[in-house]
Amino acid sequence: MNKHRLNTFVFFAVVLLAGTGVFFSLYEPEPAPLTFPNLEGVIVESPPTPLPEFAMLDQNSQPFSKANYEGKWSLVFFGYTHCPEFCPTSMASLKRLSQQPGFPPTQFVFHTVDPKRDTVETLKDYISYFGNEFTAVTGDKAEIDKFAEPLGVIYDFDEETNPGEYIVNHFGALYIIDPKARLRAYMLPPHDVARVSEVYLKVREYYGN
């Protein structure tokens, strides 16, 4: 092989190896899906579902978007502040979960499905009861739907019983979002502390930080 051909061969070999390295750095093989044979109502997303882009506001009137889910594990609940029983019960469980000794750093997010009544001010007062790890998010209905629909969240409004008084029927799952802003799993009710803790910690450990 002459010197010119040798140099050409070396050049393309380097390019090929570099490209292969880039490929393997971008491609992360998905492990076998985590299962919970002894627990009902736990659905693991494999491969995970990327969150859509959206634009909303948190309880401090700061922008809240997909980027707020990057770099951290999150537990997400959809509800509304006027919910008579299910929402406060579920949120109280999450509060107790966040207070467990040694519980890993986690972002807890309450997404309202009732933007008409759940203003930024209303959410700020509501979420303050639960702790600094909790964020409440609102926005116009189009943005809420943009975020909620890919996650399978459905909701509708009953007729008003009095002016401004109505029930919002909504999907009651609790969602686990990984640090790459992807849905990893969700849990159907009930959201008791022991069950949520078991599922969340196993998902987090299995799929890595």
- Phi/psi of residue 158, nearest 5 degrees: -75, 165
User: Which one, of 153, 199, 203, 195, lies nearest residue 178 by Cα?
Assistant: 203
With beta carbons less than 8 A apart as the criterion, state whether 157 and 184 touch.
no
Q: What is the pLDDT of residues 156-202, one digit of tens each?
A: 999 988 888 999 999 899 999 999 999 999 999 999 999 999 999 99
The CATH class that applies to domain 33-207 reads alpha beta
Residue 29 has pLDDT above 90, yes or no: no
Q: Does 81 score more than 90 pLDDT?
A: yes
- Say if pTM beats, i.e. exceeds, 0.75: yes
- How do the domains of the chain map onto residue ranges? 1-30, 33-207
**Residues in contact with 108: Cβ distance below 8 Å, sequence separation at least 6, in sequence order:** 74, 75, 76, 77, 94, 98, 130, 131, 133, 134, 135
The alpha carbon of residue 196 and the mean position of all alpha carbons in its chain are separated, in whole angstroms, by 14
CA–CA separation, 148 and 158 (whole Å): 19
